[in-house]
Amino acid sequence: MNSFRKVISIKTDKKEEIINITGRVREILSKSEIKEGLLLVYSMHTSSGVYISDSDTSLNDDLTDLLSDLIPEGKGYKHNLTDYKKNAPGHLKVILSSHHVVVPVTEGRMDLGTYQTIYYSEFDGMREKEVLVKIMGE
């Protein structure tokens, strides 16, 4: 069994932003030389996540709009009374959407469906954040 680990650094321009990281994950898999196995794409944070969805980026706004509707700012969150960053909605948005994904690896490639795209979802950005890619296999 082999394993391979690589960190992707991301700094968004806005507090909330969704970024396609499929190409960067693909490069890491290629470097790993692992042909068969499982690939974990894991946000090192609690205010950003990773999910798989459609390649059309207009959907990114639909997701951030939806999450802001379901988890509005300024709703008396207890976390915001104890934490100076007052980012309860950011944390809750990650729990409701997705924090990490596991992708199958076959013949050296991710088994992504035609439109499947790996996204990094940032809800507390404008600073250096990290996504860990860990691959296990042979």
Contact residues: a copy of itself, CB under 8 A = 1, 3, 5, 36-38, 40, 42-47, 51-54, 56, 58-59, 61-63, 66, 70-71, 77-79, 81-83, 88, 91-92, 94-104, 106, 111-113, 115-117, 130, 132, 134, 136-138
Nearer to a copy of itself, 20 or 116 (CB): 116
How far is it, in rounded angstroms, from Cα 36 to Cα 110? 9
**Cα 23 to the center of its chain, rounded Å:** 13
CB of 6 to a copy of itself, least distance (A): 11
> Cβ closer to a copy of itself: 27 or 75?
75
Query: Is 102 or 126 the residue whose CB approaches a copy of itself more closely?
Result: 102
* Token pair in block for residue 83: 């934490």
CB of 132 to a copy of itself, least distance (A): 6
CA of residue 73 relative to chain centroid, distance:
22
- Cα separation of 4 and 137, whole Å? 9
AA letter at 92: L
Question: Is residue 131 within a helix (H) or strand (E), and if so which, with residue range?
Answer: strand 129-137
